[in-house]
Amino acid sequence: MLTGQQYKDSLKDGRKVYFQGELIEDLETVPALAAPLNEVASGYDKYFNADPDAINPVTMAPMSAADLRDRIPVITEMDLLTNTTYQSLMTLSVAAARLEAHVPEVVPRIRAYVEQARKDDIRITECITDAKGNRSLAPSKQEDPDSYVRVVERRPDGVVIRGAKLHISAAAFGHDLMVMPTKAMKPGEEDYSIAACIPANSPGVHMTNTTYHPTGRDPRDFPVSSHRSIPDSMVIFDDVFVPAERIFLDGQTAHAAVFAHSLGLWERLGGVSFMVEQADELVGLASLIAEANGTAKISHVREKIDEMMIHATLLRAGLEAALAHANSTPEGYFYPDDMYTNVTKYQGASQFNTMVKHLHDIAGGAVVTAPSMLDFDNPELRPYLEKYMSTGSTVSGEYRTKLFHAIRDTTADSFGGWHFVTNLQSGGGLFAQRLVTRKNYDLERARALALKAAGLSGA
């Protein structure tokens, strides 16, 4: 296993990482990149074991429903990159089992890679969404054939790929990029049916970085995002060579969707677990700021907090249902129930903006106009700020201002906007959750109940 410092050193490997148009050779020299780098390094140190045969327990599969439940608090506390690594390794393990009867030649490669990745204690990011070009056209019909990642050359020892993957969280901080088709492919789209794990420092790989990190601002005004930010990348593959031992699918269109479908088993658990935690956090902020404002007993404020609590409880109930109805793969890996997970994610994403609206209505305009903490550092200003931001002897001006900053940072600034979009889009948008629900809901039982109620035959 690697220590946090060894992990940091391992990224000085010649990779092409860009931030605001500049090529960055040392991630620690850029505050917006240093913060997430340090968080991932802390995760390495947290689980470090000096035993030569030690393997990070977080990357191992849950082998029972109880083990799956125990994984929830770990998921909500671990850094995003460690979480995507776990998801990637589990995706590959499930995909290998599903491909064994159809593409047996790739299975030994996949299993060897998973075993080695765990031994080497590397981090892996998931590269799924293509640039897509004109969404109404299939990959092979695009004006620019590179709109979807594709094979442009096949060699005896591997392939060369070209294209780009978008919305790739933490790409610059991982060792390998797990590339997979974003959708099912049809005959004639063999070049787009490519899945592989590619070293991030491979020649021809370029990674941009977009972040909500509060660059150049006082971190005290951004109590969450200044410490827990993660950049999202466009990963560009400009004629990148992939050796044969790292290719897990090449040209088998009938199985192009296996990897994305396998990933869904594991990705949504992390998303729903976070949404449950986030919903409770919003309730806590609403309760604290209402108390600090002196409005906690006003009826409409209490009703809004009640509604937020009901929402948070429904999400937790959905997570509990998903865990209680956990399923297992043929290999004995446990994952949450598909329908309950998707319904819960839909509810969390579709109602997030309403819950934030309630919080803002309770808090008031100071969410975006409260003085900065640097203002409190000014000895001439501080007495005035304490006087006018306070609401009584038990609520100091600084305390109340810090609550406003926390609310703004998490819901009304760059970080809040990032949450709104990613809650909707990560793990598939709302339409994807509706499709899964439609597929799994017991509609026949509902129809039978309706016929019975109407006194019609067929009940």
Helix (H, G, I), strand (E, B) or coil at 403: helix
CATH of 4-54+123-251, one of 3.40.50.300, 2.40.128.20, 1.10.4160.10, 2.40.110.10: 2.40.110.10
pLDDT of residue 78: 85
Cβ pair 242, 196 in contact under 8 A? yes
Cβ pair 415, 222 in contact under 8 A? yes
38: left (phi over 0), alpha (psi -120 to 50) or beta: alpha
Tokens representing 402?
Answer: 């810090």
Which residue bears the tokens 């409880």?
313
pLDDT of residue 228: 85
Q: In angstroms, what CA-CA distances link 7 with 19, 47, 211, 404?
A: 21, 13, 22, 36
pTM beyond cutoff 0.85 = yes
- Burial (0-12, 13-18, 19+ Cβ within 10 Å), 184: middle
Cβ pair 128, 169 in contact under 8 A? no
Question: Buried (b) or exposed (e) across 222-238, using 16+ Cβ within 10 A?
Answer: bbbbbeebbbbbbbbbe
The string of DSSP codes covering 31-89 is HHHHHHHHHHHHHHHHH---STT---GGGSPP-SHHHHHHHHHHHHHS-HHHHHHHHHH
Cβ pair 373, 405 in contact under 8 A? yes
Where do the structural domains in the chain lie, given as residue ranges?
Answer: 4-54+123-251, 259-448
User: Measured between alpha carbons, how far is 96 from 109 in angstroms, rounded to an integer?
Assistant: 9
Per-residue pLDDT in tens (0 to 9) along the chain, 459 residues? 999 999 999 999 999 999 999 999 999 999 999 999 999 999 999 999 999 999 998 888 888 989 988 888 888 888 889 999 999 998 999 899 889 999 999 999 999 999 999 999 999 999 999 999 999 999 999 999 999 999 999 999 999 999 999 999 999 999 999 999 998 999 999 999 999 999 999 999 999 999 999 988 899 999 999 988 899 999 999 999 999 999 999 999 999 999 998 887 777 778 889 999 999 999 999 999 999 999 999 999 999 999 999 999 999 999 999 999 998 888 888 888 889 998 999 999 999 999 999 999 999 999 999 999 999 999 999 999 999 999 999 999 999 999 999 999 999 999 999 888 888 887 777 888 888 889 889 999 999 999 999 999 765
* CATH no. of 259-448: 1.20.140.10
Q: List helix spans (H) across 208-298.
A: 258-293
Q: How many CB atoms lie within 10 A of CB 217?
A: 14
Question: Buried (b) or exposed (e) across 11-50, using 16+ Cβ within 10 A?
Answer: beeebbbbbeeeebeebeebebbebbbbbbbebbeebbee
Residue 265's nearest CA partner among 333, 336, 320 is 336
